[in-house]
Chains A and B, each alone.
Chain A
Amino acid sequence: MQKPRTRWHILVFLAPAVLIYTAVMIFPLFNTLRLALYSKIDQERVYTGLQNFQTLFGDPIWSEQFWNALGNNFWFFLIHMLVQNPIGIALAALLSHPRLRFAALYRSAIFIPTILSFVIVGFAWKLILSPIWGIAPSMLDAVGLKSLFAPWLGKEEYALTTLALISVWQFVGIPMMLIYAALLTIPEEILEAGEIDGITGMSAFWKIKLPLILPSIGIISILTFVGNFNAFDLIYAAQGALAGPDFSTDILGTFMYRTFFGFQLQLGDPHMGAAIAGAMFAIILVGVCIYLFGIQTRMRRYQL
């Protein structure tokens, strides 16, 4: 192994990946944070320090939009945590049952929405929920619940929740697969030992399996968090850049896009866009740190 001369091949092996990664990912990331400290005044880029952030948090027009987007984003995340992950875990628990027939078939079918693009998913649900087409109301009518129907995507109070549930529908496959994988690694002996002690069925799930898959649930939570806080595509595809009705479905991704590129009445401002990106970066960083240092290290791992 130890050779006195420079081992050029190491450099050759590393160079392409490190160069592309640095030039297209790391450098722009820091450059974006740097650009957030500048403003365009009279066609010139001027260093203005933290003024963009002052505008973002201090100016009522901006701060109201920012807090609205952030609050919506948290609601979006909460629905994923409360609906997507429990359903994913439940499906995985059913699928991992030994001697269940057609498990592979169910698994493949339930994963299909996950592979579709947001554009397809957004429009497909928009059509299905549309009062013009009438699939949703006539289906509710068939079970006698027609009075419950409302144009969910068009109402301020329901639109965000509806979109979050659509996103849940799309991505439930991911927690399902990861938990399924974790459940398969639980050795049969442990479950049999539990059976001898009279722990079977549901209580085996709660008392033996769930504690063993907690680390996977942690990973899923942080993946959901990061994914939700830079989400954009679904809202853009279904509601447009204005995240209607009346910004009720605006999240940080759409807010940043709108600020960066501008829309009907407002010119795009890359520096304010960069400031919002900086805020998103901080939020994601805080989330990841909470996970890495607060949750992951404290979680009890069992040697299997």
Chain B
Amino acid sequence: MSSARKRPFNTLAMHGALILYTLIALFPVFVILINSFKTRKKIFREPLALPDAESFSLVGYQTVLKQGDFFLYFQNSLIVTVASLALVLLFGAMAAFALSEYRFRGNLLMGLYLALGIMIPIRIGTVAILDLMVSTGLVNTLWALILVYTAQGLPLAVFILSEFMRQVSNDLKDAARIDGLSEYTIFGRIVLPLVRPALATVAVFNMIPIWNDLWFPLILAPAEEVKTLTLGSQVFIGQFVTDWNAVLSALSMAILPVLLLYVIFSRQLIRGLTSGAVK
């Protein structure tokens, strides 16, 4: 390590390796984005050239906006993601509070029961989940997706949040109890604000898999009016395979919102991943 500090050659090699890998990571995204703004001819003739005055074209985006209901898909994805996150955070925090704050019979068992779902993927139960949603009439509604993602997110949320809640000082809570505050007020006014960083971590962990999921939208909510953006772009691209402008534009439109979310939340996400919350 110290030898690397002394030798500029090593530093150079390290930057070289990292730059090479960064290029590999970004190249496909870059190619899709630049070509979505070009005419069909130029897409094929000069796939790696940036769009210029001559090759610039929005024809793909026009097709996408005309043919696909991308605003509706986007809205559906947004509703599903936000609602699931809200439920995961609220119910997860409540359960984590109960498990970390009170001693009662079955506490440990309940914790283990809730932790089961961390390792076992919810997809295994798909056949019966579809049964359940059909019999409750929730199939082809956004509620079906919201419930599934809430159930999927809860185990890890409870696990992470109860770890953090154990660190909240007992004196603070006892002082509040002496002042006559109810347990609900203590949870809402004292504990929740104190674990806000952990809540953010849980939210960011859950956000990306929910937004990107293809399996459950495909199975539980394939109808046009409840399609999520991921499923919507999948179906759209499948239908327009030969229209390269439309396909590239649809891909770019699916990339941009995620990229935007990432730019906003990347610090939170990386802090969460590196803080050891998932050990």
Contact = CB atoms under 8 A, between A and B. Distances in A.
Interface of A: 1, 7, 9-10, 12-14, 16-18, 20-21, 23-29, 31-32, 34-35, 87, 90-91, 94-95, 97-100, 102, 104, 106-121, 123-125, 127-128, 133-135, 138, 169, 172, 177-178, 180-181, 184-185, 191, 195, 200-201, 204, 216, 219, 222, 226, 230, 232-233, 236-237, 253, 256-257, 260-261, 270, 273-274, 277, 280-281, 284-285, 288
B266 to A, nearest CB: 5
Contacts of A108: 266, 270
Interface in B97-141: 97-99, 102-104, 110, 113-114, 116-117, 119-132
A186 to B, nearest CB: 11
B59 interface: no
B259 A112 contact: yes
Contacts of B273: 177-178, 181
Nearest to B29: A112
Contacts of A27: 128, 132
A29 to B, nearest CB: 4
B1 A97 contact: yes
> Chain A contact residues: over half helix, strand or loop, or mixed?
helix
Interface in B1-33: 1-5, 10-11, 14-15, 17-19, 21-22, 24-26, 28-29, 31-32
Instruction: With a 10 A CB-CB cut-off, give which of A99, A100, A112, A270 has the most chain B CB atoms.
Output: A112
B123 A17 contact: no
Interface residues on B, range: 35 or more
A118 B47 CA distance: 23
Of all A-B residue pairs in the complex, the 4 with the closest CB atoms, nearest first, are: A28-B125, A117-B212, A31-B128, A17-B95
A18 B110 contact: yes
Given A28-B128, A32-B126, A233 B110 contact: no
B212 A21 contact: no
B211 interface: yes
B34 to A, nearest CB: 12
A237 B215 CA distance: 11
A112 B48 CA distance: 20
B190 interface: no
Nearest to A118: B214
